[in-house]
Amino acid sequence: MYFAGVDIGSTMTKVVLMDKSDNLLSAIKGPTGPEHRQLANEVMRQALEQANLQIDVISYIVATGYGRLNVPFADRQITELSCHARGVSSLFPNVRTAIDIGGQDAKCMKIDNGRLTSFVMNDKCAAGTGRFLEVTAATLGIGLEDMGDISLKATKRIQISNLCTIFAQQEVVALLSRGEKLENILAGLHDALANRIAALARRLGIEPDLVLTGGVAKNTGMVKAMKESLGCELFVPEEPLLTGALGAGILAKETYLKAVAEGEALPTKSRRLEKATFFSEGQR
């Protein structure tokens, strides 16, 4: 008995396959790109290949994330907040607060026994998201993945006064032209982002254990800045990008097993791995 979770985020698409004992059989990530309707099948194909499974043996599939409605082979769609809450709890059973910083938004969640109890999101402005770092990395001509490590070498932390991503970009250019060191500027950028997200989390009320997920959690400089800004211990999963897909997979398993236990027939979608098109909905 196998289950799948598919998380189509704004930047990355993630798929996990698991068995009924929650053993992870495969986990695949790929860039979402502008045509995520055409990508879910491809990432799923890779995941199946890694697990050496065929699509028709997957008992139940849950899709989550912004593109969750565009996964034609998913049996059910569940919001990313619920899936993140479930996924994070499976890794950190004592989690009460989770912060997920993705490419397009930042979510702060309160969790009780794997259930989402409340949330706040920063979604009006790129300044509180991974996009803030992406834009500045491009401006500085460095890799996004290198930003955190470089920032850890800072000897002082430059204060970035602009919260707007575009104005912050201009400010960074001005600082560079003044001769400020790259690592000090990066440390300041991480502080600016961390302070903004910490304020959002405080609005919700922080309770330990606190877990940081999302692509930005892979950034060591950001983890340090978040710890300092929040003033508390922060746990980071080994693979922070996968918690949404993991939660989707667990919810797929729970949904399926509950239906079986109650003798309920659970409708499932066709297991054909095809690109979703705008015309495919009516055919399913």
Q: Which residues bind another protein (CB under 8 A)?
A: 66, 79, 81-82, 112, 115-121, 123-124, 203
Q: In the β-sheet with 210-213, what is the strand arrangement from edge to edge?
A: 115-122, 106-112, 97-101, 210-213
- In the chain, % helix, strand, coil (3-state, to 5) comes to 45, 20, 35
Rounded least distance, CB 231 to another protein, Å: 21
Cα 222 from Cα 133, distance rounded (Å): 10
When the beta carbons of 112 and 149 are compared against another protein, the nearer one is 112
Rounded least distance, CB 234 to another protein, Å: 23
Backbone angles phi and psi of 34, in degrees to 5 = -75, -15
Rounded least distance, CB 158 to another protein, Å: 28
Residue closest to 240 by CA, chosen among 53, 100, 66: 100
When the beta carbons of 59 and 243 are compared against another protein, the nearer one is 243
Cα 237 from Cα 66, distance rounded (Å): 22
Rounded least distance, CB 112 to another protein, Å: 7
Rounded least distance, CB 115 to another protein, Å: 6
Rounded least distance, CB 82 to another protein, Å: 6
When the beta carbons of 24 and 121 are compared against another protein, the nearer one is 121
When the beta carbons of 1 and 121 are compared against another protein, the nearer one is 121
When the beta carbons of 50 and 79 are compared against another protein, the nearer one is 79
When the beta carbons of 32 and 219 are compared against another protein, the nearer one is 32
When the beta carbons of 35 and 112 are compared against another protein, the nearer one is 112
Rounded least distance, CB 163 to another protein, Å: 14
CB count, 10 Å around CB of 270?
A: 13
Provide the CB-side half-sphere exposure for 81 (13 A, CA). 15
Rounded least distance, CB 157 to another protein, Å: 29
Q: What are the helix (H) ranges across the chain?
A: 40-51, 80-91, 130-140, 147-151, 165-177, 182-204, 220-230, 243-261
Q: Report the DSSP beta bridge partners of residue 108.
A: 99, 120
Contacts of 159-166 with CB under 8 Å at 24 or more apart are 159/188, 159/191, 159/192, 160/185, 160/188, 160/189, 160/191, 160/192, 163/125, 163/127, 163/192, 163/196, 164/125, 164/127, 165/125, 165/126, 165/127, 165/131, 165/132, 165/135, 165/136, 166/135
When the beta carbons of 123 and 281 are compared against another protein, the nearer one is 123
